[in-house]
Amino acid sequence: MSTPQSTGTSYTHEPAWDSGHLKVGSIHEIYYEQYGKKDGLPVIFLHGGPGANTSPQNANYFNPAVYRVVLLDQRGVGKSRPKNELKENTTQHLSDDIERLREHLGIAKWHMVFGGSWGSTLGLFYAQAHPDKVGSLVIRGVFLATRAELYGPGAGDAAAMFFPQEREAFLSFLPENERADPAKAYYDRIISPDPAISRPAAVAWSRWDMTTGTLKPNTESIGMLDDPEWCYTHSLFENHYLFQNGAFIEDGQLLFPENMAKIKDIPGAIVQGRYDVLCPPVTAWKVHKAWPRSSIHFVSDAGHAASEPGTAAKLTQVCDELANL
């Protein structure tokens, strides 16, 4: 029987009781797993990145005696097939996949959609597209994929103020004449068919992300840099989605009044690290002000990562509370 951990801040789960691949479109098969109570309240977990993937620990925010937890690897990442495929891979495709998976699993309506970082972007996009299928929404490390977040103050500029040494290393990887547009310069290398070019660039790109994502250094996150294939997928998809294609949405689209009005009746919670330099808290505040039924929780001792203790505890708490809807 699954039981809460001794810390009381999250839960433990038995191994997945179901897993499989679902064909979506002409190219892709998405991978999913299910945890917790088979007839419980259905929740879907949307991972970040773009280019990350799920792991069994992602189920730990949800009480296994209450929730039926669905973990989904988005197109081209994790155990989804084919790996690293960018064709037919847009935000709209990912949103459509959530609907296909819901129908495939026989779920009439999600009790909760849960997403952090890029998962918050996708969660908002999906909820606005299918508000009748979303019972509640929890977002963390809020990111709207706006041009200001990607290129203006509050993006790399904010992180560079606190991590100047790491930012210098990120830029120094490139020839001096390419540093004015590092995203393009990195992308040109990452998509090279020569692994001797693409893999070092992917690791350097990922190092910048992984070293700035937590308030205190996290050895587990830094350890991901030892996996060049993980770094390649992570950097490839971040560049494809965010810097090359603007997340395939209009600038500011998710905050358009007509779109926020679509989720005005959906209850939910926003959990945000106070010292998140990757997705600064001002964005979470803007979403909260535009979303009448949201509560907002700033975690005073956290940066961006969901794994930080204060953030993990608050996410578990709000999921426990929303189980009572």
All domains of the chain, ordered by start, with CATH? 18-148+248-322 (3.40.50.1820), 157-246 (no CATH)
Would you state the pLDDT for residue 216? 86
Element of type H or E holding 18: strand 18-24
Amino acid, single-letter form, for residue 193: P
Task: Give the active site residues.
Answer: 117, 276, 304
The three-class DSSP label of residue 119 is helix
Render each residue's pLDDT in the chain as its tens digit; 325 residues: 333 442 446 899 999 999 999 999 999 999 999 999 999 999 999 999 999 999 999 999 999 999 999 999 999 999 999 999 999 999 999 999 999 999 999 999 999 999 999 999 999 999 999 999 999 999 999 999 999 888 754 445 678 888 899 999 999 999 999 999 999 999 999 999 999 999 999 999 999 988 888 888 776 767 788 999 999 999 999 999 999 999 999 999 999 999 999 999 999 999 999 999 999 999 999 999 999 999 999 999 999 999 999 999 999 999 999 999 8
DSSP string, 240-291: IIIITTGGGS-TTGGG-HHHHGGGTT--EEEEEETT-SSS-HHHHHHHHHH-
Instruction: Using the structure block, give the residue that is written with the tokens 């840099």.
Output: 225
DSSP string, 152-166: STTTHHHHHHH-HHH
The region, left, alpha or beta by phi > 0 then psi within -120 to 50, assigned to residue 154 is left
Would you state the pLDDT for residue 161? 85
Q: What are the helix (H) ranges across the chain?
A: 91-104, 118-129, 147-151, 156-162, 164-172, 182-190, 195-211, 219-223, 228-238, 257-260, 281-290, 309-322
Whether the predicted model's global pTM rises above the 0.85 cut? yes
d(CA 14, CA 2): 6
Sign of the Cα torsion 112, 115, 120, 126 reads: negative
Would you state the pLDDT for residue 156? 52
In degrees and rounded to multiples of 5, residue 134 shows phi and psi of: -120, 115
Would you state the pLDDT for residue 222? 75
Would you state the pLDDT for residue 157? 66
Query: What are the C-alpha distances in Å from 294 to residues 77, 110, 133, 271?
Result: 31, 17, 17, 10
Distance of CA 97 to the CA centre of its chain: 15
Would you state the pLDDT for residue 5? 40
In degrees and rounded to multiples of 5, residue 29 shows phi and psi of: -130, 120
Query: Do residues 253 and 259 lie in contact, with contact meaning Cβ atoms separated by under 8 Å?
Result: yes
Q: Encoding tokens for residue 309?
A: 């203790």
Would you state the pLDDT for residue 160? 84
d(CA 265, CA 282): 23
